Amino acid sequence: MTLLHKSIKNWAKDDRPREKLVLKGRESLSDAELIAIILGSGTRTKSAVELGREVLDSVNNDLNKLSQLSVKDLCKFKGIGPAKAISIVSAIELSRRRPIEKGEKSKITCSRDIYNLMSPMLKDAQYEQFWIICLSRANVVLAKHKISDGGREGTVADSKRIFKIALEEISSGIILCHNHPSGQMKPSQADVNLTKKLVEAGKVLDVTVLDHLIFTNSGYYSFADEGKMP
């Protein structure tokens, strides 16, 4: 009987994921072992590590693709019920939020700073979301706010809500961000029209719209970088 077919309880202590984490540190664990810890147990025929490896194999070991799996998707694997699926989705969501929280008081100097700040939230989103980043006069991030959720093809960005939030945060400038789950990086005509509308509204309220980024899983489009800001 090989190690892979033994219950984890019968493995050598150094090979058990939980004990291995304590003894050798979290960096020593493979992705499958980390998933196994979240799962807690496997099935009668598969260890939790084997089950974790099966999940990873289904997405070609791509953690970005793993983050796109829903609770329903994960429940298709034998041995993963709603509770375990929810634990996996929750762990992924928590890891996505960490870089955003870390960067909240950072200074925006270029479009890449915007991308790094918001990509953990927008890059793998399956539906369109529209966000704004509120900035001080020195371009320090004051806050970020989700304006709306939409479907696969679009979402609504309410200009009144955008500038209400911007004024409440005492923003000197704002940056617009939304994603295209379709993977289309270039802006639609609706995106262009919206950007122009918000830039003009910002001038009246003395809130400068500095850029508008469109996020996809493979990169981003910056209106400012492309010289397309009105």
Q: Choose among 174, 169, 168, 172: nearest CA to 195.
A: 174
Q: In angstroms, how far is the first alpha carbon of the chain from the final one?
A: 68
Examine the domain organization and report whether 81 and 153 are in the same domain. Answer: no
Residues 93 and 114 in one domain: no
For residues 178 and 129, give the distance between their C-alpha atoms in angstroms, rounded to a whole number: 5
Taking the C-alpha atoms of residue 200 and residue 70, their distance in angstroms, rounded to an integer, is 39
208 plus 155 within the same structural domain: yes
Indicate the residue among 98, 114, 149 that finishes a domain.
98
Total count of domains within the chain = 2
- Of 54-63, 68-77, 123-132, 179-188, minimum mean pLDDT range: 123-132
pTM, 2 dp = 0.63
pLDDT tens digits, 179-212: 998 889 999 999 999 999 999 999 999 999 999 9
Give the pLDDT score at 177.
97
Are 143 and 160 within one domain? yes
Tell me the residue range of the domain where 52 lies: 3-98
Domain final residue, candidates 49, 72, 98: 98
Q: Is 131 found in the same domain as 192?
A: yes
Predicted pLDDT of residue 154:
60
CATH code of the domain covering residue 132: 3.40.140.10
Contacts of 73 (CB under 8 A, 6+ apart): none
Radius of gyration of the chain (CA): 22
Environment class of 40 (CB within 10 Å of its CB; exposed 0-12, middle 13-18, buried 19+): exposed
Residues 79, 13 share a domain: yes
Is the per-residue pLDDT at 148 higher than 50? yes
